[in-house]
Amino acid sequence: MPSPRTALRARWTVVPGPSGALEAAEGLTVLVEGNRIVDVTRAPDGVAARVVEAPRGILLPGFVNLHNHALNGPIFRGIVDDAGSSAPADSIVYGLLLPLGDLAGRLLSEDDIRAVYRLALLEIIRSGITSVLDMPRAVHHGLFVVAKEMGLRLFGAPYVFSTPTLGLDAKGKPVYGPGDEDKSLDAALRVADAYDEGPGGRVRVGLGPHATDTCSPRLLRRIREEARERETFVSVHVAQSRIEVESVRSRHGRSPVELLHDAGLLGPDVVAAHCVYAEKSDLDLLRDTGTTVANCPLTFARSGVTVPFDRFHKHGVRTGVGTDAYSFDFFAELRAAGLLAKTASGDPGAVDAPTLLRAATEVGADALSRPDLGRIASGRIADLIVVDLGGPHVQPVRDPIRNLVWNATPADVRLVMVDGRILVHEGKVAGWNEDAIAHRATLAVERLWAAAQREGIL
């Protein structure tokens, strides 16, 4: 028996124009059967079992978030903001983020972990994100369970380490502890064996070497072999701090990007997060190998560091956008990517709204080897969102794509559909008590904060 047909009718629909650039067309109806778009048409459809009307809305592919740490958002909320000199950008990963994440793995129960993940995924879904690349610890595999139950499309890359960091010494330098990289990789592969649904699945498991200073060349080469054998993706932090760059240069005489290149771990199936301190020659390697950079500007702006989107994009590097670890407001992240590029370059035209929107949809989908996502066209997967452009902060509308990127917020997201299933309708997450989710997660995080205070992490 065929699946019931759903007709989505918004005032504007974002589709590829004749030149390939995105445009907002009026008067289109998008027809969905099962998990696929079956037609994009101007003709009326009298067969649809459900019709969703959005007379003030814009229909577009769901956002693809290329770098995220769902557990960290609730845990770090309000801690890193306004931290000042007590948490400089170059040491915050080693002195706060990793130790607090390690403590969460030791202290929180599986139910606690899932509760925090539900809160994070609730925010993610409400922000119009339909696909997210997340890097959890292998022990935090509850993320995969929660993503399945909430309906989100997840690309999870469990952390792998050779030498995990234990914090900072008296001089503010990271202390690298002994690690068992074989055990770490085996743990990640067990997660993949348990949860990976294969190349076309809604839940995909890749591999997440933490960074170039915490993973040996041997481990990086093994990850390349495993990723190739499993036909999956790799996500890795690259040149995210001066500490990382200096450590890799001291040990290997290479930049972080060069180290990955030597290990064979650059390419179209690799997402390199941040690349804050990548040099021009590094950008050449990233471009020439087809590696994607995940630009997460708000994370670094909180610490006074500017990471302009256009530095990568104008160099020809495939560049997507991620929300990283503090807030999952994808609209704010897109705006930050554009505004910081304009500010850093002094050029108000450095990055425009269609470029940012394409980075958030098509580019992200292609980076994950999923060209069936990120586009509205017949035969594509029905990962779709509707954003209401009728509010006073987005009216009047002369250019709907500009208004969407520069003025809309998560509160304007009226519908979210993933794999043909409606997760958000009329701005409400279907089937979930949002207050109860927030309350349960808050209890877990407050207990973690208290323990972190006792151990001197906070």
Q: Please check whether residue 236 lies inside any domain of the structure.
A: yes
pLDDT, one tens digit per residue, over 27-82 is 999 999 999 999 999 987 667 778 999 999 999 999 999 999 999 999 988 887 77
Residues 120 and 240 grouped into a single domain: yes
Residues 48 and 82 grouped into a single domain: no
Residues 353 and 257 grouped into a single domain: yes
Average pLDDT taken over every residue of the chain: 93
Residues 31 and 177 grouped into a single domain: no
Q: Please check whether residue 446 lies inside any domain of the structure.
A: no
Residues 57 and 67 grouped into a single domain: no
Question: Element (H or E) spanning 130, and its range?
Answer: strand 129-134
Residues 322 and 395 grouped into a single domain: no
- Sign, CA dihedral 453-455-456-458, equals negative
In this structure, how many other beta carbons lie within 10 angstroms of the beta carbon of residue 345? 15
CB 353 within 8 A of CB 405: yes
Give the structural domain span for 51: 5-61+384-418
Residues 22 and 164 grouped into a single domain: no
Q: Please check whether residue 204 lies inside any domain of the structure.
A: yes
pLDDT, one tens digit per residue, over 195-209 is 999 999 999 999 999
Query: CB within 8 A of 270, min separation 6: which ones?
Result: 233, 234, 235, 236, 260, 289, 291, 292
Confidence class of residue 1 from pLDDT cuts 50, 70 and 90? very low
Q: Please check whether residue 13 lies inside any domain of the structure.
A: yes
Q: Please check whether residue 435 lies inside any domain of the structure.
A: no
Q: Please check whether residue 173 lies inside any domain of the structure.
A: yes
CATH of the domain at 46: 2.30.40.10
Distance between CA atoms of 211 and 219, rounded to whole angstroms?
A: 11
Determine whether 457 is exposed, middle or buried from the number of CB atoms within 10 Å of its CB (0-12, 13-18, 19+). middle
CA 411 to chain centre: 19
Query: CB within 8 A of 234, min separation 6: which ones?
Result: 157, 206, 207, 208, 209, 223, 224, 227, 265, 269, 270, 271
Residues 51 and 79 grouped into a single domain: no
Q: Please check whether residue 453 lies inside any domain of the structure.
A: no
pLDDT over 70 at 2, yes or no: no
CATH of the domain at 123: 3.20.20.140
DSSP 150-196: HT-EEEE--EE-SS-EEEE-TTS-EEEPP--HHHHHHHHHHHHHHH-
Query: CB within 8 A of 160, min separation 6: which ones?
Result: 138, 181, 184, 185, 188, 207, 208, 209, 210, 215, 219, 223
pTM for the full predicted model: 0.95
Q: What is the pLDDT of residue 45?
A: 65
Residues 136 and 160 grouped into a single domain: yes
In the chain, how many domains are there?
Answer: 2
pLDDT, one tens digit per residue, over 215-264 is 999 999 999 999 999 999 999 999 999 989 999 999 999 999 999 999 99
pLDDT, one tens digit per residue, over 435-453 is 999 999 999 999 999 998 9
Confidence class of residue 351 from pLDDT cuts 50, 70 and 90? very high
Residues 199 and 240 grouped into a single domain: yes
Residues 19 and 107 grouped into a single domain: no
CB 196 within 8 A of CB 244: no
Length of the chain: 458
Q: Give the residues across from 293 on adjacent strands.
A: 272, 319
pLDDT, one tens digit per residue, over 21-33 is 899 999 999 999 9
Q: Please check whether residue 457 lies inside any domain of the structure.
A: no
Residues 54 and 68 grouped into a single domain: no
